[in-house]
């Protein structure tokens, strides 16, 4: 606003009004707000609103076909004493932890491998992506056959090789079932990790490796001192996503085991679905789903603070 004193206040006001409008028209932030609105509306309608509704529902005794009343923490207190709920929490953490670690290890290894010069590089890179692009349910059904108690190709091959005598009951035994769903999840999740880390690897200038070679670094030292530290920001991002996806996994489990045998593979997401939709106790299902939120926030917080410490990324890049 102008600070110049004038003897004609009426005209100044008119000029001020006009300038407010013209300032709005010229303002990039004002324009940005309008550009943002559709996306924001979309997110509020389809993400924030259902989330809020779900959290609210967890404080009610709503059932399918019957509106609920507010019952405070009753659902949560009920779950607190529910052994199956705690088993699902344990299963989810176990599933997420093991699958994420394996996905990271294999993904990183594949990324390093794919980053080398080799024949048919583009083709191999596309092949790696296949598990990622196949619909989850489709791959789950494929795994279902692979793990089938009678027709399993794995059991068949091992028997033919003379290594075992009877079919392995992949999805019927609790330990085998856990291992089987984790394997299927890893198979699906590795391409995402591998391709993202590969993208990260390709941003590392080759001259850094050459400089390190001349500085006397061995292969392992080049990885340890150059590749790994330069890759940490992208590792943090990709592993956060991987953990979030794995923690909230539903489709694969539901298609393969539906939580069985004896709840050995029930994750929080599948239990929530079973209690909320199948049994119709929406309030209780919502409470289980809401109970996942603190875990997810913790995972995000870890990677967030992990990334923030990297001082070398800050500062300008231009000369």
Q: Which residues bind another protein (CB under 8 A)?
A: 205, 207-208, 210-217, 221, 225-226, 229-230, 310-317, 319
Least distance in angstroms from the C-beta of 40 to another protein: 34
Of 308 and 313, CB closest to another protein: 313
For 26-65, b where at least 16 C-beta lie within 10 A, e where not — what string? eeeeeeeeeeeeeeeeeeeeeeeeeeeebeebbbbbbeee
Residues with Cβ within 8 Å of residue 113, at least 6 apart in sequence? none
Least Å distance, CB 235 to another protein, is 13
Nearest CB to another protein, comparing residues 174 and 213: 213
Q: Is the separation of the CB atoms in 256 and 181 below 8 Å?
A: yes
The nearer residue to another protein, 52 or 229, going by C-beta atoms, is 229
Q: How far is the CB of 81 from another protein (least distance, A)?
A: 49
Q: Does residue 251 contact residue 137 with C-beta atoms inside 8 Å?
A: yes
Q: State the minimum distance, in angstroms, from the CB of residue 299 to another protein.
A: 24
**Which one, 16 or 229, has the nearer CB to another protein?**
229
Comparison of 205 and 279: residue with beta carbon closer to another protein: 205
* Shortest Cβ 39–another protein spacing (Å): 32
We find the least distance from the C-beta atom of residue 5 to another protein, in angstroms, to be 46
Burial category of 183 from C-beta neighbours within 10 Å (exposed 0-12, middle 13-18, buried 19 and up): middle
- Please, what is the minimum distance in Å from the beta carbon of residue 211 to another protein? 4
- Please say which residue, 193 or 231, places its beta carbon nearer to another protein: 231
Cβ 212 to another protein, closest distance in Å? 8
Which residue, 159 or 204, is less far from another protein as judged by CB? 204
Nearer to another protein, 175 or 314 (CB): 314
């Amino acid at each position: 606003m102008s600070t110049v004193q004038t003897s004609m206040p009426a005209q100044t006001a008119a000029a001020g009004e006009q300038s407010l409008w013209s300032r709005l028209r010229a303002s990039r932030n004002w324009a940005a707000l309008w550009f943002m609105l559709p996306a924001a509306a979309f997110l509020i309608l389809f993400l924030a609103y259902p989330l809020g509704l779900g959290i609210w529902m967890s404080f009610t005794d709503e059932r399918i076909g019957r509106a609920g009343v507010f019952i405070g923490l009753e659902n949560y207190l009920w779950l607190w004493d529910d052994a199956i709920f705690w088993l699902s929490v344990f299963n989810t953490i176990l599933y997420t932890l093991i699958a994420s670690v394996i996905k990271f290890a294999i993904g990183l290894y594949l990324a390093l491998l794919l980053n080398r010069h080799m024949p048919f590089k583009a083709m191999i890179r596309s092949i790696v992506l296949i598990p990622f692009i196949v619909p989850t349910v489709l791959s789950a059904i494929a795994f279902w056959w692979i793990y089938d108690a009678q027709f399993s190709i794995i059991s068949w091959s091992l028997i033919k090789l003379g290594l075992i005598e009877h079919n392995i009951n992949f999805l019927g035994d609790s330990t085998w079932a856990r291992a089987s769903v984790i394997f299927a999840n890893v198979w699906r999740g590795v391409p995402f990790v591998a391709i993202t880390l590969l993208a990260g690897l390709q941003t590392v200038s080759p001259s850094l490796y050459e400089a390190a070679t001349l500085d006397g670094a061995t292969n392992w030292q080049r990885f340890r001192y150059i590749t790994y530290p330069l890759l940490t920001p992208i590792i943090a991002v990709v592993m956060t996503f991987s953990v979030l996806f794995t923690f909230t996994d539903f489709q694969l489990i539901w298609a393969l085991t539906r939580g069985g045998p004896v709840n050995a593979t029930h994750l929080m997401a599948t239990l929530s679905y079973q209690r909320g939709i199948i049994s119709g106790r929406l309030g209780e299902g919502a409470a289980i789903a809401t109970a996942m939120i603190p875990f997810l926030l913790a995972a995000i917080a870890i990677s967030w603070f992990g990334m923030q410490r990297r001082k070398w990324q800050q500062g300008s890049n231009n000369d």
